[in-house]
Each structure stands twice: as structure tokens, then as C-alpha cells.
Structure 1
Amino acid sequence: MFIVRKGDIPLLSRRFKEAASRLLERHEGTPFELRFWGGERLRFGAGAPALSMTFRTRRALCDTVLRGTLGLGEAYIRREVTFEGDLEDALAGLFELARSAGPVRSVRALGSRLPRLSRLSHVAPPPLSLERGAAGLLDALGIGRGSGAARREQRAVERHYGLGNDFYALYLDRRLQTSCGYFRAPGEALDDAQAHKIALVARKLALRRGQRLLDVGCGWGHFMFHAAEAYGVQCLGITLCENQARYIREQAAARRLPVEVRVMSHEELEAEPRWDRLVSLGSMCHAGERRIEVFYDRVKALLAEGGVCLLESVTRARESRWADPFLQEHIVPGYWPPSLQGMASRAEARGLDVLDTENLRRHSALTARCWRKNFLENRDKIARVTGFDAAFMRKWEFYLACAAAAFRTGHLGFMQMVLSNGAPRDYPLARDALHAADEAAPRERAPIVPAAQFSLWGASAPS
């Protein structure tokens, strides 16, 4: 936590209010109100405020100004920042405010514009663990691509997806898809949207009987189950989480499917024989800024000549070394979204041809909204089953609401990109085939094994 000399706090508070008023005085978006612990209020936009945000303590304001989304999120967890109205709507309003402020794109950037802030001599950086400090030094020296970086990625993925299948089963869809769905209409059920998404990915890959498919970061395996059942494809999934692998093995055995899973990194997988099809639904972001180059090298090495792959990733407009600090600290350490331009340029630099791109941003917003709705409806059951405390529950709600707001406002995108390694074999010429009716939507031949049977945690789990 930042340490600010007590005498500087009134100055910081006053300067923040002055800067906010000056930068947002011409705000024309949703009327918004900032409230402070002493009763003072600042209004932006015309008309009665539709949204409001309250700093209940000076510490909450200081943390938000100096630590950006990390400070804001932690203040929300401590209940020192509150929002009136729906949390997603309020956070979307903040994203709109940031956009209307022009060059000021975040609360932390707003703090950097405060007059005399740089002269506050008694501001200390947040504590940094030895492990993170060493990792940062290695990255700065350009040697973050080795086995140590791979182990850090594995620990980060395990921390996120290893929270327990029972936890995810209570707010994801019945197939435990952690990627976005594909909605035919805004009010469509999440289970149906995820079935459409699986069918869409299969069509974009132009699956055929007898092909061999590699799923990098396969999650709980339901895309592979569909590929094997509907198309007769032989599948191998790789994951870094043992709880996911156990689930996949049980399902594949129950359905008698040609689906194999290994707990390993894509860097450990042998390059031969190469694969006719490769899919990665969201795992690219876990590679981080430096190791994303290794990720693309492996895609090129693993994909057969004429083979086709589909890569899917959260994206942003411009790449930088910056990564959201709240997400890094509390949700997925090392998570780093590329840009659309970065995805395409890395593929083309390796001789991979871009066949198709599609932005599923709006579908991602709807998916995150469904996840949060399920999470809130089941929060008592989640707490009872997992043992997660109130702070964890507020943290996860903040994360889901932020995701929905970021996709909804265009702060983040969600790209699907289809690539081929040279001229593609047996790939549709017309794009119409990619969005045909779901003639092969996932249908389960055997009941889905209850996810709770494979919980990684017992009665309690870390928060």
C-alpha cells in the first residue's frame, strides 16, 4: 500500500477534485456524480446523475489516484468505495468518463496530472514480493522466455482455473466454457450461446473426419468433445490444471471419445507429428508480453503445412507494457492482452496467412453479464460450497462487472482470427459457410459429469 504523509492527504484530495472538475467539465456522456466522505459532491454531465461513486475514506481516494484500478478495486473490496445503482453500469460510466477526458485514460493517469503530486516526497511504492521483483528484473533484461517464465505462467493459470470446478460450475454455463458465447439475440440463454460458439469455432476450422486437432489451453474440454462427436476428429488437449485434466479424462471415457489430455505447456509438446487443426480459445493472454512471441513460434511449428488454426484473445486498441494492475494482482497474474494489429503482424511474420477475423466484443459483454448474474444469484451457495470469504466474493464480483463494462464500452475487444500455414487444404472459399445454421450444435451423448466431483479444494480455499 502507498504511504502518504498525513499532511499531504488534504492537498491530494483538493488537487484531485480540482483536476477532475477541470478535465471533465465538458463531459457530455451519462450524468455522473462523485461523492466524498465529508459530504462534498461533484457532478458531471447535464441533468440528474444516473450514476454515483462515493469515496468513503481519504485512504480510498489516495489509493485510487495513486494505484489506479488496483487501488479502486481494493477500496471496493474493503467497502471504502461504493456505487449507487448497478455496479456494471457505474463502471461503464467510469470508462465513458475516461474516454471523454481525452488524453486522460484512467484514474491513475488523472492522478499523474495533478499539480505538485510529483513533489509528495513521502509516497512509497507498494510492497513487491521477491518472486515478482526477480521476475520483473528478468523481463527487463530480456531473459523471461525460459523455463522460469513458463513456470510462472503455470502458477498463474493454476491460481485462476484451479479455484475448483465446483466454483466455476456455479456461474459458468453447463459446459464450463471460460471463453465468450455467441448470442443469436441479447436475451438468449448462456447455455445456448455457448453451444452456438462451439459450433461456430468448428465451422471456422472446417473440421473433417480423420483430422488431428490440438487444443492449446483446452479448459474443461467441451470443444474437443464436440469435434470428436460431430466430426470424427482425433483430439489432444493440453492444460496446466490437473483438475481440468481429470474432468476431461472422465468425460472422454464415459463417452468413448478419441480425446486425450496432457498436463503440460505447449512448449513441452513434441513438434512431430504436426497437427491438421489447432485451436486456442483465450490462452494466448496468459503468455504475457514477452512470451507471446514464443507462443506464435510454437503455433507455426505445430501446425502442418496447409493446416488451419483459430486463435481467440481479449484485445486492446494499442499494445504497451502496461497491464491492468487489479487483474495482475488479484485475478490472473501475467495476463496481457495483445492488439488486433499485433495478432496479425505476429502471424504474418511467421508465414501464417490470415483467413478471417471477427470481433466478438459484444458477445463477450453479454457473456460476462450472464456470468455476473449467475454469480450473484448463487453467491450464498458459492460461499457455502467453497468456503470463500466475503472479501473474495466482492473481489470476484468487481472483476466480472469490470469485464462486462470494458467489453460493453469498447475498452476491450475480443478477436477470433483464423490462420493457415501456407495455402489451406479443403477450406471454404466463401465466408457464408462460417456462419451457417448450427446444423452440428453440441449434443451430449452421455450426461455431463457433475463438476463438483472434481473439486480441487475442500471446505475452504484461499481468498
Structure 2
Amino acid sequence: MFEKTVYKKLLSHAFDFPVTVKYWDGQSETYGDGTPQAEIDINKELSMAQIAKHATLTLGEAYMDGDIDIKGSIQQVVASAYRQTTSFMHDKSFLKFIPKQGHSEKENKQDIQSHYDIGNDFYKLWLDPTLTYSCAYFKNDNDTLEQAQLNKVHHILNKLMPERGKTLLDIGSGWGTLLYVAAEEYGLHATGVTLSEEQYNYTKNQIQKRGLADLVDVRLEDYRETTGQYDYITSVGMFEHVGKDNLPGYFEKVNELLKPGARALIHGITGQHIGAGVDPWLTKYIFPGGYIPSVSKNLDYMIEANLQLDDLEPLRRHYQKTLEIWDHNFNAVRDQVREMFDERFCECGIYTCRQLRHHLKLATLM
């Protein structure tokens, strides 16, 4: 009875629109005024201690396991819950409880492979044909996801003001689209580094298939082991995986790999305030071993690494639209994903897209 009383008190302040909650014992209660816009079925009593300790992880896994079901818009429910907890996130005192978030090259490789090496066939099901797994750039509302991803690649490369024949390094090169465009359309000698064996093998195959062996190379290595100096450096959706304690060294490495007077463009997920990326759910399922830094801390790290800021562009609305399309694509192939993995994996994917829409903000830094 005590646990249920705590539940009721918590849920009465959890949302800013009317919600009906159906408890494990069959009792229902509506919180908020007006007609309920969603129903949350708590099919199994969850430990309040675990919710208090790791709310997003405990509730997210309960959704994956079917212990919680949401009828109505899960996006609306998640968004409302985050709006109600904004004041907590501005309280920096909770940061003292965060464990150190630096990790070795071996740990980094394990983290990356656990996320990206679950199979290219899986990602091909719901990403666009370029296999770009980061925020797209929508010039027009009716751009397809593929066009928007190519827009993003051109937007990045154009900001670098590249000259034909010069060298480019892409740190965390993914499935290689930026490398191919840089070589084929801009005449650059492009090198990519990745820790994902699936991405590495795919990129090697594409280099041969496209006849780019003289212009494009890819290496299976940790960025900390990369040597040489380059005219241009790009890094797209990479620093989220670096870890809080490794971020200063990451920007120092970028500076080390740049020729004097050269240019870099760092494109990744950030938060508006310190601690925005401290989330057990994201750490376990999205960025294992990683950390999402604030914009201000990134600027500090860049300045300390003797890099000079030339441009900063927020792409939050573009990221929102990208996630909406990924969510739609994922749902369209859900049966195929279930055959590859299981229902719990499917629920994880859906919950992740909707949580990310309201939890993360994205900016590009040059």
C-alpha cells in the first residue's frame, strides 16, 4: 500500500496533460483535468527505489518487457515527462554521483562494436540508402531522408571550403558516404577511421566497387592511434562515444592531426546544460561508455586545445525530423526486425527514438 501511495504522488506531478493510469491491481486513476489523452498501464509493480535511482533505465526496460504499456502517443508522454523534470536537470548537484567516464581503447572498441556491429542488414532496413546514422539536413520540407543526408554531407564539406587534391580525415567514418562524396565530387584524398568491423568491411567493399582506391582509404583503428596531418578533418556523430573524461584529449587529438591553418568540422549531439547526457538508458542502449557534453563545455575543450571557433550551427529541428523518419521506417519493418532479434529489441528501438526526440539537442561546431 505504501508503494502505491508513492506511485500516486509521483504520477500526480509527472505530466502536464491529463493521463489515466491503470495499476497492476486493476484500479485506474486519472491525473490532470479534462479528457485523458493517454493511458499508462502498469502491469507489474516496479520498485520505487529503482525508479528513484535510475528512472529512465528502469521505466525504459519495463516498457521493453511489457511491464508498462502506453496507449496513445508515447512521444507525447515522454515529452511531457521531460518537461516536468526540467527543473531537476538544472540542479547540478546530482553530477557528483556520476562515475568517471573515461575508458581505454579496448573498452572503446567493445562499446562501438556492441552498437554498430549487430549487422549491416539491420541498419539497411530503416536507414536511407547512404547508410548515414546521424542527423540529416533538410533544405526543403519535402526532401527525402536520402536527399537530406546528402544535403548534410555537402553542407559539411562546403563549410570547409575544400580545395581539390588536398587531404581529409573523417574520424568515425561510419559506412563511408562522406568519404565517397569528398573524393568523387570534391576531388579530395579522403581517409576514414572506424572501430566497427562491419562498417570497415562495408567501406572497403564500396571503395573497390566505386573505383576509389587511389583517393579513399579506411582504417580499423582508434582515433588516438591515428597519425599524420590533414588539410581538413570531419567527425560526425563521434564524440558522443568518447566519454566525459576523454573529451579534452579528443579535441587535442583533432588539433594534433590538423596542418597549421587547416580546418575541422565537428558535428555531434550536445545538451544545453552540463549533465544533459547523464542518462543510464542512453549509456546502456545508445552510447555505451559515452557521454553527451554541453555546448559550453565543448567550447571550453576546443579553446583549451588551441582550436579557434569559426562557426556554430544548431540543427535541432533537423534532428527531430530525422528521428521521426527513422521511427516511421523502423515501425514499417518491425516484423523483419523481430525475426532478426526479438520483440524486446523492437520495443527498445521504438522507445529510444521517442526518448531521443525530447532528450537530446544537436549542434555542429567548427
| Whole-Å separation in 1 of the counterparts to 2:139 and 2:224 | 37
Question: Residue 328 of structure 1 corresponds to which residue in structure 2?
Answer: 283
- Once the two structures are TM-superposed, the CA of residue 20 in structure 1 deviates from its matched residue by 4.2
Instruction: Give the 3-state SS of the residue equivalent to 1:213 in structure 2.
Output: strand
Distance 1:185 1:43, change over 3 A: farther
Say yes or no: does 1:204 pair with 2:192: no
Q: What whole-Å deviation, never above 9, does each CA across 1:366-398 have from its counterpart, x for those lacking one?
A: 1111111111101112333xx201111111221
The number of aligned residues is 357
Instruction: Give the 3-state SS of the residue equivalent to 1:170 in structure 2.
Output: helix
The structure 2 residue matched to 1:393, chosen from 346, 350, 353, is: 346
Would the aligned equivalents of 1:359 and 1:414 in 2 still touch at CA under 8 Å?
Answer: yes
- Once the two structures are TM-superposed, the CA of residue 349 in structure 1 deviates from its matched residue by 1.5
Structure 1 residues 1-400: aligned runs within 5 Å: 10-21=1-12, 23=13, 29-38=16-25, 39-44=27-32, 46-59=33-46, 63-99=50-86, 102-103=87-88, 139=100, 144=102, 149-257=104-212, 258-270=215-227, 272=228, 274-320=229-275, 323-384=278-339, 387-400=340-353
Please list every run of 5 or more consecutive structure 1 residues that lacks an aligned counterpart in the other structure: 1-9, 110-135, 419-463
Distance 1:34 1:383, change over 3 A: closer
Would the aligned equivalents of 2:200 and 2:219 in 1 still touch at CA under 8 Å?
Answer: yes
| Whole-Å separation in 1 of the counterparts to 2:283 and 2:305 | 29
Structure 1 residues 394-413: aligned runs within 5 Å: 394-404=347-357, 406=358, 411-413=359-361
Would the aligned equivalents of 1:207 and 1:227 in 2 still touch at CA under 8 Å?
Answer: no
Instruction: Give the 3-state SS of the residue equivalent to 2:22 in structure 1.
Output: strand
Q: What whole-Å deviation, never above 9, does each CA across 1:32-58 have from its counterpart, x for those lacking one?
A: 3433223231412x4222233222221
| Whole-Å separation in 2 of the counterparts to 1:322 and 1:188 | 30
- Once the two structures are TM-superposed, the CA of residue 305 in structure 1 deviates from its matched residue by 0.8
| Whole-Å separation in 2 of the counterparts to 1:332 and 1:398 | 15
> Highest Rg: 1 or 2?
1
TM superposition score normalised by structure 1: 0.73
Would the aligned equivalents of 2:89 and 2:276 in 1 still touch at CA under 8 Å?
Answer: no
Would the aligned equivalents of 2:276 and 2:293 in 1 still touch at CA under 8 Å?
Answer: no
Would the aligned equivalents of 2:42 and 2:69 in 1 still touch at CA under 8 Å?
Answer: yes
Instruction: Give the 3-state SS of the residue equivalent to 1:355 in structure 2.
Output: coil
- Once the two structures are TM-superposed, the CA of residue 313 in structure 1 deviates from its matched residue by 1.4
TM superposition score normalised by structure 2: 0.91
- Which one-letter code corresponds to 2:365 in the other structure? M
Question: Residue 363 of structure 2 corresponds to which residue in structure 1?
Answer: 415
Distance 1:196 1:322, change over 3 A: closer
- Which one-letter code corresponds to 1:263 in the other structure? L
- Which one-letter code corresponds to 1:375 in the other structure? F
Please list every run of 5 or more consecutive structure 2 residues that lacks an aligned counterpart in the other structure: none
- Once the two structures are TM-superposed, the CA of residue 330 in structure 1 deviates from its matched residue by 2.9
- Which one-letter code corresponds to 1:259 in the other structure? V
- Once the two structures are TM-superposed, the CA of residue 306 in structure 1 deviates from its matched residue by 0.7
- Once the two structures are TM-superposed, the CA of residue 63 in structure 1 deviates from its matched residue by 4.2
Would the aligned equivalents of 1:63 and 1:72 in 2 still touch at CA under 8 Å?
Answer: no
Instruction: Give the 3-state SS of the residue equivalent to 1:314 in structure 2.
Output: strand
- Once the two structures are TM-superposed, the CA of residue 163 in structure 1 deviates from its matched residue by 0.9
